[in-house]
Structure 1
Amino acid sequence: MKDAKILLIEGRHTEVPSFAPDLQKKGFEVVIVQSGGEAAKRLDKIAPHLAVVNAASLRSSGVRICQSLNERDAKLPIILIVANGAEVDKDAADAVLSLPFTAQKLVNRIKPLLPSDGKNVIHVGPIRLDVEHRRVKCLSKSSKLTPRLIKLLRILLDHHGEVVERESLFKRVWDTNYTGDTRTLDVHISWLRRAIEIDPNNPRFLKTIRGVGYRLDV
């Protein structure tokens, strides 16, 4: 995405490198704030396309900052940078990087998370499906999807709040009139839950309607 704006939350500890110069050299517009509180207050005004939380420079885990940003904008992609050896929940952000690493590695993580320049991005509630990059983001989770999972999710998004019958889903996703064995659909639903649910065993969004089909509640 051209002219992407990045919110960089970064402290002043000199032993931790600043990533601002490298990101600016790569053509990104970088807005630097020095605390999570400042980031939360200015989030609406800055309107970034992505946030980078350099927790190593803030001497914190960065998890609360990520949570605060997610509460204010569930669609905002977040990359969390932590110190070498730091233990952090991988679901705290869309990507977690441990120092040391190159600036190019950071850029490589940023690009797939940026909004597409095209129109192949679907937003419904907290779910953001980027068809072009085959990636879905829901709350703090970001996952790569197979083409078939994208097709399945698009149907459910188009009919969110409605019960979609198993046979109908199977016919549309697999392009077949045979519905004698739809167990493969159950497997794909399970994979989709892993991609969008914080707890796939207790789904908040993708519900099973026993004996009928599935409903996406967003």
Structure 2
Amino acid sequence: MTSVLVVDDEPSFTEALSVGLRREGFEVRTAADGRAALAEISEAEPDLVLLDVMLPGMSGLDVCREIRKQSRVPLIMVTARAEEIDAVVGLEVGADDYVAKPYRMRELVARMRAVLRRASGQPPPAQSDAACLVEGDLELDIDRHELRVRGELVTLALKEFELLAYLLAHAGRVVTRDSLMQNVWEYNYVGDTKTIDVHVKRLRAKIEDDPSNPQRITTIRGLGYRYERAAPPAA
């Protein structure tokens, strides 16, 4: 049975969430603060951690940093605050995903199972049959898991790589957020897509000349994103 450590200081929330997760077939352990969470991870080695950002004493972000010093356990940040900065910082300190309260149990469980699948080494959804995707001066080598921009190697996190691969495989076409959720994040759910927006922002910071005025990955308001085709070289 898959074990989950729920780290939250609200007893009523923790109890309700634990009941819901057990109904979904998870074994649930709980911790009310960061120190207790670190002790549980060292002793019980859970398969996944649900970590609230707002905790007494150590913040959830600090707890995440400490966890990452000792473990690569799959970890999802949970918070009542929906500001994008929470998502950005949470992902940067090592979280695998981010969920904002309130959420639906179905959404949370879908995200948990997707994170667990990735952690188990199951291959991501097929992005393209091509071993290498090239658009202008950007080259994504699928087999070697490498990105080069103007010949320079650029380091990407796993989910950034998968996101870019999917956008490149559909270059010139609008890719909706729902499509990204289902094909990159593996969530068959229509709802909060802030995780996608955060990853796009981080990806732009690495591949765009001016991330505030993106030319490669453009936003199609109300729909999603499009990776723009590179202009053909001048004759």
Structure 2 counterpart of 1:107: 109
Q: How many residues are matched?
A: 148
Matches within 5 A, 1:11-22: 11-12=9-10, 14=12, 18-22=16-20
Q: What is the CA distance between 1:95 and its match in structure 2?
A: 0.9
Indicate the RMSD between aligned Cα atoms, in angstroms.
3.8
User: Which residue does the alignment assign to 1:98?
Assistant: 100
Identical aligned pairs, as a percentage?
19
1:40 paired with 2:38, answer: yes
In structure 2, the partner of 1:133 is 124
1:70 is displaced (CA, Å) by 0.9
Task: Write the distance in 2 (CA, Å) between the matches of 1:44 and 1:189.
Answer: 43
Structure 1 segment 51-130 matched on structure 2, within 5 A: 51-56=49-54, 61-73=59-71, 75-86=72-83, 87-88=85-86, 89-91=89-91, 92=93, 93-115=95-117, 130=121
Q: Which runs of 5+ in 2 are unaligned?
A: 132-140, 161-201, 208-235
Once residues 124 and 56 of structure 2 are traced to their aligned partners in structure 1, the CA distance between those partners, rounded to angstroms, is: 31
Quote the Cα distance in structure 1 between the aligned partners of 2:98 and 2:24: 20
Find the aligned partners of 1:78 and 1:53 in 2 and give their Cα distance.
7
Residues 1:151 and 2:143 aligned together: yes
Query: Does the C-alpha gap of structure 1 residues 109 and 146 become closer, same or farther in structure 2, counting only changes over 3 Å?
Result: farther
| TM-score computed with the length of structure 1 as normaliser | 0.54
Change (3 A) 1:61 1:40: closer
CA displacement at 1:187 relative to structure 2: 4.4
Give the distance between the partners of 2:14 and 2:59, measured in 1 at CA.
14
User: For residues 192 and 59 of structure 1, do their structure 2 counterparts lie closer, same or farther at Cα, with a shift above 3 Å needed?
Assistant: same
TM-score scaled by length of structure 2 = 0.51
Shift of the 191–101 alpha-carbon distance from structure 1 to 2, 3 Å rule, reads: farther
Q: Is the 8 A contact 1:7 1:31 kept in 2?
A: yes
1:86-110 Cα deviation digits (max 9, x unpaired): 5411423111111111111111110
